[in-house]
Amino acid sequence: DQQVKQNSPSLSVQEGRISILNCDYTNSMFDYFLWYKKYPAEGPTFLISISSIKDKNEDGRFTVFLNKSAKHLSLHIVPSQPGDSAVYFCALTGANSKLTFGKGITLSVRP
């Protein structure tokens, strides 16, 4: 049973517009939420995170929103740039620091 769901496998947006990547989870014990970005032939790299005591965290063009009651996490990228084209994974953890990853979303930003 999937604990972390990224239901849309891909997303295509125009350069300059907003990209919204979604992630749903089932286990209320998760208390720290992260987004990773992955380019082909490279390892994932940390992008942004949020703890369960917050509902929003912003870092430049990237904002993560957390809706605990809905068990929903989203990443907003504004404005989107062609260099943002990559696979994005949401990852969740609890007290043991083991990350549980979603299947990933492939974002394509069209020039």
Partner 1 sequence: NAGVTQTPKFQVLKTGQSMTLQCAQDMNHNSMYWYRQDPGMGLRLIYYSASEGTTDKGEVPNGYNVSRLNKREFSLRLESAAPSQTSVYFCASLLGLFVGGYTFGSGTRLTVV
- Our CB check for partner 1 shows the closer of 42 and 70 to be 42
- Our CB check for partner 1 shows the closer of 93 and 108 to be 93
Residues that bind partner 1 (CB under 8 A): 4, 6, 9, 32, 34, 36, 41-46, 49, 89, 91, 93, 97-104
- Our CB check for partner 1 shows the closer of 70 and 95 to be 95
Least distance (Å) between residue 38 CB and partner 1: 9
What's the token pair of residue 83? 């260099």
Of 111, 13, 19, 7, which is closest to residue 63 (Cα–Cα)?
Answer: 19
- Our CB check for partner 1 shows the closer of 5 and 72 to be 5
**Beta pairing partners, 106:** 10, 87
Least distance (Å) between residue 105 CB and partner 1: 10
Instruction: Tell me the helices (H) and strands (E) count for the chain, helix number first.
Output: 0, 11
Least distance (Å) between residue 83 CB and partner 1: 19
Cis preceding-peptide flag for 79 (omega within 30 of 0): yes
